[in-house]
Structure 1
Amino acid sequence: MSFVIPDYSSIYCVSKYCVKYSYVLIAIVPVLLLLFWLSMKTFVKFGNRFELEAFLKAKKTERKIILALRSFAVIFLMFAIASPFILESKTVQGDPRLTILVDNSSSMALYGTEIAYDLYDELEGTISVHIRTIANGQHSTIGNGILNSIEGNDNVMVITDGVNNEGKLLGDIMLFASGINSSVSTLKMEAKNNDVGVVIEGPPDLIKDTSGDFVVKVSVVGDRMPYTLQVTYDDTNLVFEESASTSKEFQFSRKFPDGEYHKLKAELIKVPKNDHFENNNVFLKSVKIVPRPKVLYVSQKSSPLAKELDKIYKLDVRSTVPSDISEYMAVIFNDIRASKINSHVDRLSDYVSDGSGLIFIGGENSFERGGYKGTLLETLLPIKIGAGEEQNKSDINVVIVIDISSGTADHISVEKALALSVVDSLSEKNNVGAVAFSSQAFQIAEIQPLAQNKKELKEKISRLKFDGQSFFNLGIEGGFRILSEVGGSKNIIFISDGKTTYGKLREDTLETVRSVNAKGVKVFVVGVGTESDSLATENNLFLGNMAALGEGIYYKADASNKLKVEFGDQDETKGEEFYNTLVPIDTTHFITLGLDDIHATVSGYNYAVPKPAARTLVTTHKNIPILVVWRFGLGRVVSITTDDGLKWAGDLLNKKNSKLLTRGINWAIGDLGRQKSYDVTIRDTVLGKSTNVNVISREMPQSEGLSFAKIDTNLYSSVYTPTDTGYKEILGATFAVNNNDEYEKLGINPEFTNLVEKTGGQIFDPNDIEKIIEFIRAKSKRIKIDSTDYRWPFAIIAMLLFLTEIAIRRYRENLIK
């Protein structure tokens, strides 16, 4: 039986100086105190007090010397026991080798793979080089291919267009590669063949008699390709026909005639013969028309809003709440006093908790004017009733956190200008500091009244240099460190493009935001470059989640005016009309998405304060919340603190601004098929990928070739895998099957090239062989960490001190004799 000695090490380092057993150093102080106490004790018995005093007086100097020597000896001995060592890093030459990974998927036919084999021939004999294929046909599993090929401390060159339609996410794989010191590079490629393709983006469902907004995207790879785009619906109805020769987006709105399903088709005609892929010249999209949802509108007066809503919804207008509201998908209360609703609060709470929607509209009899404050009804609302306290601007602390990673370098001038405009938008009474971050965070300016450091702060921001990777969590932590030293209101204004596909980094960042918010810090987020980036939707979602968890707001566009609403001083030169104009504060929500340019002025409003878990979407320029939403159980609640357009908010009823109200109601309604006894939902798909067939039914549905499973009450699901393209029908539901998505997003994927640069790789010119070899050799150099043990010097010094003490004592004893 072997005896295993347990490892009790606890390493602690200051710079390169470390100890293995750090807790031994902590014990030095109590050991020295014990030694001092023992030195003060006298263990010799004396006949009287005078003999004791004489002895202590004679030994006083000797005791001090002995105590000092023993103390230093103990300190050095304990340092030796703690096992000190020094870490030293050395650069050593590794084995310069390269693995070339070739993407042989269908989309690479536009570029060809010969470039990979030419590179192999050029490098062979100069460095160790291997070549292998990582993707074939319509399966672009680029992420999986890289993962299966990297070993750590190696170099790979991926010859690909970056189209990754299956397997692991590229971002996660590239993060892993960076973590194990594997460099991933690629080559610049020019298209050898030309191609033009088309896709349609838009809503899969529309309410009957309403218009839907659609975008047709045409992508051209290679040379200019003259084409004519023809968009039709239901086979024969022409929407529009336009000609062009470059990549372009075409937008249109369409209200469809009667019928549950409609078929959109975008087709490229009159395309040149050198179009490489013909199977991406047609794109199909199905649109499901759902019946007008039934909505209860409770109002005790004639309402102009009700007349407009009746054109969209199946509106039931009543003056009181009926005994049964289960048939309605949402209930709207228009300027109703709390006394008229209080007796129904329990039913309304159950109603919204089960997934339905509630909308409360203000007025002269609503909210603080209608006795809502302090009632159970107020608990359903996303707002607290009454005006918020005016906060002293000098009690507001703001730290501006700026992303200066190389990923934001494309937007240097924009980001600096945005940061400077943020500074200008803040009140000079605010206490303001700043932090910049990339792979680490550092303080630009300590927190102090903006009036004292505004000029210096703006100069420092203007001189910022951009480099490194984006570690968003470190930026938030850096801002929090500054705020933790002050009292009052604490706010972070975070400026970044949000670019990363590293799932773990995003999770860590959101957890950090959640943590600092729990400690009283609000996080406001300003996005830069998020509209032009290819991952705009994903980046915006991430930044929006940061703001939501931080109980702040996410500003996608120029944030200066919107931040001024939150933190700025009121300009006395601007009139009442300006401060009563509505401002979409949060334009990342479904309700306000794309509504930055609404222009509406209200002449009156109710006073309320958003609850912490709510989202404020629209305010006035005086920061009066107008549209606030939140989720309650499975349902949703919307509060609108102005009226129905009868007296205060007539501007909200015009065609452009009314989208704010209808979207608010649609959001509250949620799932349009929720109350159906029978409904079939099948989303469009592509060849090679399956789609779910979801059926709401009281009985198990039956369809040839499908096997259904019950996944919820009256909800059944099955999987359908198409074998050919075109419109298909299952159980009466129509859906589209397009060609494999390998052909949809052709061209070099900017996500891949961004990831290469962010993780230490490079994009090489295929003719620059010397630079490639130089890079591989430089990357093959490894940092070797050596540790040098320094226990024996400390132990020897401790022993010498003990021997010195013994020698002194012997010498003194000999003198006495």
Structure 2
Amino acid sequence: MNIALESPEMLLLIIPVIIAGFYLLRKTKTKLVEWRMLVAFLLVLALAAPYTTVTQTINEEDPSLVLVQDMTTSMGLFPEDTGTGLYEALTADTPTTLVQLTGEKTSLGDAVVQYSGLGNQIVLVTDGNNNAGKDLTEALRFAKDANTPVYLVQPELETNDLSVEMLGDKTVVVDNQNEFDIVVRQASEQSVSYFLEVYVDGEISQSRQFSQDTRNNTISINQAFTTLGAHNLSVKITPSDEDFNKSNNEFYKSLYVIPKPKITLVTADSSSPLASILRNLYEVSVVNDYSGAGNITESKALVLDNQIIGNFSEAEMKEIKNYVSNGGGLIVVGGDKAYNYGKYLNSSLEDVLPVISKPSEFQGGRNLVLVLDISPSTAAHGTLGDILSNAISILRNDNLKDANVGVIAFGSVGYDVSGGFLYMGLPQNLALLEDKISQLTPSEESETSLDQGLAVTKEMLEGEDGELDAIIISDGGIEDSYDASLEAAKELQDMGVNLYFVHIRSSAPSQADQTRTLYAEKLMQELGLQNNYKHIDMGERANIEFEDTVVTPEDEEDEPEDLGTYLLLEYSPDHFITKSVNLTSTSITGYNQVTPKAGAERLVITVTGQPVLTTWRFGLGRVAAFSTDNGDGATRWASAVYNGSNSRLISGMANWAIANPQAEEGAVVEALDTWLGTPSDLTLIMYDEGIPQLKLDGTQIDLALTGRNTYEASVNPDEIGIHNISGYPLAVNYPLEYRDVGLNNDINPLILATGGEIYTEKEARAFLLKDARQNSEREATEPVSLKVYVLLAALVLYLGEVLVRRIREMRRLKQAQGETGAEEAA
């Protein structure tokens, strides 16, 4: 028992008690003083208010629910009264608060955050599309941290709707081919067809018929502009079938065309694929030696191609460092004279780079299989949601970011859910596995045959190298297949597989009766893996600590060696550089040995985990370390990177390093295209002397000074179309509410992670309240005051002392009376 004090400062009163006590002891030297001192001590302790804490299990028969009913305009695709009947059913049985969202903006995230952590459970009746306020993903994570289950009720789609959007850069360079993505979304997954038209500056450029049977379809187009200034693109679709809303069938995109930005390329190979790509895109000054580069501050970016450190003086290194610190871009391309081969280690240049020029230690070599129990007992006893949520939680373990993971499910048979191993270094693979796991449903067969799941696990892990792990997540009802499962587990042990068992405690008879054998625990005991057995309650998450699997490459040599062929992976596919790049099946035959610094971001790696493109910010500038070659010369490591669509990696890298391609002269305006009802933030930078003023469609804009020569304003045009800001274009499109149509299934794993469930409206009426009551069972720690017990002890001591003293006095009185009587008798 842990005891604490509410007012520990009251213990200071013991000091005068001690002083007074010792004084009286010296004066009287009686036991009475000692008793009274002890009583005083207890009274002071009572004033300090001692207390302890106890843990109690709280079970709410009538849990408090908050039903958030999405009635925004995008919900017109679903029945009008979606959620109304559910609310009436719930409020008749348990306290239920109704929150209705209306209008042309959906702020689900705000509602989740507002009602989380208050003893509530939240029910969302919505399509799941959030377009205002708090990000829904962050809100659901907040709810999870606040131990607030969130349930999702998905309405039934009544009609289909199509929307169109065009993606791409707004600021583009003259005479360059620019790629734009046209995204056509539909609410359902039926086969639809539509006629698509693309307009350039109001004139039709191309048109054709399309069909799709998926939710999203991306159509890429290329367009170059030969004149500077404002231009625009627009796209229009005409669906052949049902289409609920016509306003989201047309989309406008404004563009501002600028001169080619200047960059400086330092290279001994002016005809390399790298040099050719840069020349096509920018105004490039090519020099053989940095000393001939002139004033590099006139360039938006500096590219050092396969340069040995001896080619630079310390004064030149200082100049480069200042250039980047003040906002210049730097790209350092590798080769047989760069990085570990160019003596960069501990040099002045390395201070600016996001990497250290020595072999990289990287996590990798782990192959993990999640073996998930989806037998009917998991649904009957309510553990399926916990099994799936624990699997998703394990996938997000930071030490698995460089692992290969496979997922197997079993009932009476085992089967491969993931389709083999997927590399967790790619966010899209993590999202894919989470989606597949969240959609698992109980098998129809009644048996729980763990041995069948382990047999498929063995097939998946056979022939794999490195760390081999398998995690079983089950409710533990494996008694019928225990012997076969034990043999299958021993076979995996013989292969060197590390086995874990996450046993989720349920209401099953085999677990409710404490005298019965827990077969899951027995299995791990017989394998000698008791430490790998995790017995947790429903709603809890297993904490499995994975040791780092670190592979250290051989020390670098003085000369490049044949490293074989390595596939490239987009480690951060959502970065500006990689978001439009698809490196599938792209290989390099060599690379420089580098190690990313703390704070650097790996964007492209080899399948073995070696960094190939690493970036970071240095001062006001941006630096990219491209640790393979220019595609030519003696090494020819990366020729494939510079071919076809792969060359987007090079242009993306250069555009990122350049940052702002506009010349720093005159007045520069920036404002992103927007949606009707959503303001656009506008920035004006005055590089030359003059009076800052801008007009929106002829009306003066109020500007606020926010920095040196920098002015900002917020504009919110009330009409769809292309608007004019003193010659700078701004496109306003249909309200954002109409872009995302149909059900958003991306949030399903996050819903399950909170401890909630996903239902149709019919399923919600049958199961939601039952699940909410089950989730209301929680352990609460409450303080219990010990003050009354201390006061009672002080009272007992005091009364005891009085009683003892009184008895002694009565004895002395009787003795005195006896002596007096004897004298009288004598």
Contact 1:154 1:780 in 2 (8 A): no
Q: Where do 1:308-707 residues align within 5 Å?
A: 308-319=277-288, 320-334=291-305, 335=307, 338-363=310-335, 366=338, 375-385=347-357, 387-388=358-359, 406=389, 408-409=391-392, 414=406, 417=421, 458-461=497-500, 566=551, 579=564, 581=566, 583-584=568-569, 586-588=571-573, 589-593=575-579, 594-597=581-584, 599-602=586-589, 609-617=595-603, 626-644=612-630, 645-649=632-636, 651-652=638-639, 653-673=642-662, 675-697=664-686, 698=688, 699=690, 700-703=692-695, 704-705=698-699, 706-707=701-702
**CA offset at residue 406 of structure 1?**
0.7
- Superposition CA RMSD, Å: 5.6
Shift in alpha-carbon separation, 1:266–1:180, aligned structure 2, 3 A: same
Please give the per-residue CA displacement for 1:5-42, whole angstroms capped at 9, x wherever unaligned: xxxxxxxxx5xx54447999x99xxxxxxxxxxxxxxx
Measured at CA, do residues 207 and 437 of structure 1 come closer, stay the same or move farther in structure 2, by a change above 3 Å?
farther
| Distance 1:197-1:757 versus aligned 2 partners, 3 A rule | same
Against the structure 1 CA distance between its residues 149 and 88, is the aligned structure 2 distance closer, same or farther, given a 3 Å change threshold?
closer
Aligned partner letter, 2:73: S
1:671 deviates by 1.7
Once residues 776 and 465 of structure 1 are traced to their aligned partners in structure 2, the CA distance between those partners, rounded to angstroms, is 18
- Which residue in the other structure is 1:109 paired with? 76
Give distance in 1, aligned partners of 2:737 and 2:79: 15
Q: Which amino acid aligns with 2:54?
A: L
Letter in 2 for 1:690: P
**Counterpart of 1:6?**
none
Distance 1:205 1:146 in 2: 37
Residue 199 (structure 2) aligned to one of 200, 222, 233: 233
What residue is the counterpart of 2:34 in the other structure?
Answer: none
- TM-score for the superposition, normalised by structure 1: 0.64
Partners of 2:254 and 2:638 in 1: how far apart? 35
Residues 522/349 of structure 1: CA separation in 2 closer, same or farther (3 Å cut): farther
Counterpart pick for 1:244 among 190, 206, 212: 212
CA deviations on 1:747-785 (whole Å, 9 max, x unpaired) are: 123355555443344444434545445456666778776
Partner residue in 2 for 1:205: 171
Report the 3-state secondary structure (helix = DSSP H, G, I; strand = E; otherwise coil) of the residue aligned with 1:460: strand
Alpha-carbon distance change, 79 to 151 in structure 1, aligned in 2, over 3 angstroms: closer
Q: Structure 1 357/321 Cα, relative in aligned 2: closer, same or farther at 3 Å?
A: farther
Whether the 8 Å contact between 2:160 and 2:188 is mirrored in structure 1 is yes
2:695 matched to 1:736?
A: no
| Contact 1:404 1:464 (C-alpha < 8 Å) held by counterparts | no
Q: TM-score, normalised by structure 2?
A: 0.63
What pairs up with 1:28-43 in 2 under 5 angstroms?
A: none
Which residue number corresponds to residue 297 of structure 1? 265
**Cα contact 1:303–1:646 (8 A) shared by 2:** no
Q: Is the 8 A contact 2:194 2:238 kept in 1?
A: yes
Which residue of the partner structure matches residue 746 of structure 1?
A: 741
Q: 1:124 to 1:724 in 2, by over 3 A?
A: same
Counterpart-to-counterpart distance in 1, 2:97 and 2:605: 61
In 1, Cα distance between equivalents of 2:589 and 2:778: 66
Report the Cα offset of residue 599 of structure 1. 3.2
CA distance in 2, matches of 1:383, 1:673: 29
* 1:427–1:568 CA contact under 8 A, matched in 2: no
Q: Give how far 1:208 is off.
A: 3.5
Q: Output the CA distance in 1 between the equivalents of 2:347 and 2:114.
A: 61
Matched residues in 1 for 2:40 and 2:368: separation? 50
Corresponding residue of 2:716: 721
**SS of match in other structure, 1:746:** coil
Q: Deviations over 1:635-664 (max 9, x none)?
A: 123344554312112643433554443333
Cα separation, 2, equivalents of 1:109 and 1:795: 67
Task: Please state how far the C-alpha of 1:725 moved relative to its aligned partner.
Answer: 0.9
In the TM superposition, residue 738 of structure 1 has moved relative to its aligned partner by: 0.9
Tell me the CA shift for residue 743 of structure 1.
0.7
Maintained 8 Å contact 2:144/2:753: no
1:255 counterpart residue number: 223
Q: Which residue number in structure 2 is paired with residue 161 of structure 1?
A: 127
Distance 1:308 1:242 in 2: 33
Q: Which residue of 2 aligns with 1:712?
A: 707
Structure 1 253/89 Cα, relative in aligned 2: closer, same or farther at 3 Å? same
In the alignment, is the contact (CA less than 8 A) between 1:103 and 1:113 conserved in 2? no
Unmatched 5+ residue regions in structure 1? 1-13, 28-42, 44-71, 439-452, 468-520, 525-562, 808-817
Query: CA 1:788–1:121 in structure 2 vs 1: closer, same or farther (change >3 Å)?
Result: closer
Structure 1 pair 690/612, CA: closer, same or farther in 2 (3 Å)?
closer
| Secondary structure class of the residue paired with 2:499 | helix
